[in-house]
Amino acid sequence: MTATIACFLRALQTPRDSLRTLFEATAATDPYGMPRVVRTTRFAEAEIAWRGARWLLSLPLSAAAMSRIERTVPALERLNASWLAPCRILRDELLWRDDAGTERSGDLLLERLPAGTDFAEALLRERAERLHAALDRLERELAEAGFAHNNLKAQNLRWTGERFVPLRCRDASLGAVASGDRAAFEALRRC
């Protein structure tokens, strides 16, 4: 049984009661004070502050999504590349009750957000040549590592002021053909 987005939202509102490790976390909120939760096809995610850093906290919405990150995260950890944001699976982190009142727990994915801005903000602040050079560098590094992000787009890149760091590497594959993200890089260069 998988936790729902409502369970995730409740946990972000009451972390002391609903999260084992992240009980001191504070979720980014909308103008009404509600945690900002974004839903993708396979995940619900929210940005949080915890231990002096910003993090992306993700709830897998299906067993298939969890299975995918269980394969991907250990491979990313072994890669140990400076251009990757650290991420880890928090086992049994989310505490919730099902409709019958039975206590349950579920796994979450925690990814550290490097200091910096998103891609759109970088476009406003930096020269195009500098950003293109940073994209070229990242493309080379990914190719050299045999790494394909497989979901590379503006929302999944963070600008640190010096480089782009790919986020949400949940669909990444290693040992990939160097051209795996070529079309995505070309689209990013056209922004």
Domains of the chain, first to last: 5-113 (3.30.200), 117-189 (1.10.510.10)
Can you give the C-alpha Rg of the chain in angstroms?
17
Q: What is the pLDDT of residues 90-141, one digit of tens each?
A: 999 999 999 899 999 999 999 999 999 999 999 999 999 999 999 999 999 9
CA distance 59 to 22: 14
Which of 4-13, 41-50, 176-185 is the least confident region? 176-185
Q: What is the pLDDT of residues 28-42, one digit of tens each?
A: 999 999 999 999 999
Q: Which residues of 120-136 are buried (b: 16+ CB within 10 A; e: fewer)?
A: eebeeeeeeeebeebbe
